[in-house]
Amino acid sequence: MLKLYDREFTSRLLVGSALYPSPAIMQGAIRASGAEIVTVSLRRESAGGKTGDAFWSLIRELGVTVLPNTAGCRSVREAVTTAKLARELFATSWIKLEVIADNDTLQPDVVGLVEAADILIKDGFDVFPYCTEDLSVALRLVDAGCKVVMPWAAPIGSAKGIINPDALKLLRDRLPDITLVVDAGLGAPSHAAQALELGYDAVLLNTAIAKAADPIAMATAFRGGVEAGRAAYQAGLMEARDFASPSTPVVGTPFWHAVS
Region of 149 please: left (phi>0), alpha (psi -120 to 50) or beta: beta
What is the C-alpha separation between 153 and 178, in angstroms, rounded? Answer: 17
Catalytic site residue from 96, 122, 160, 169: 96
Active-site residue flag, 3: no
Coil/strand/helix, residue 2? strand
Cβ neighbour number for residue 35 with a 10 Å cutoff: 28
Q: First-to-last CA distance in the chain?
A: 66
Q: Are strands 126-131 and 94-97 parallel, antiparallel or unpaired?
A: parallel
**Eight-state DSSP code of residue 235:** H
What is the C-alpha separation between 179 and 172, in angstroms, rounded? Answer: 9
What is the C-alpha separation between 154 and 169, in angstroms, rounded? Answer: 15
Q: Are 82 and 131 in contact (CB under 8 A)?
A: no
Which stretches of the chain are DSSP H helices? 23-33, 42-45, 49-62, 76-90, 110-122, 135-144, 165-174, 189-197, 207-210, 215-235
Our measurement of the distance from residue 68's CA atom to the centroid of its chain's CA atoms, rounded to an integer in Å, reads 14
Cβ neighbour number for residue 117 with a 10 Å cutoff: 30
Catalytic residue positions?
96
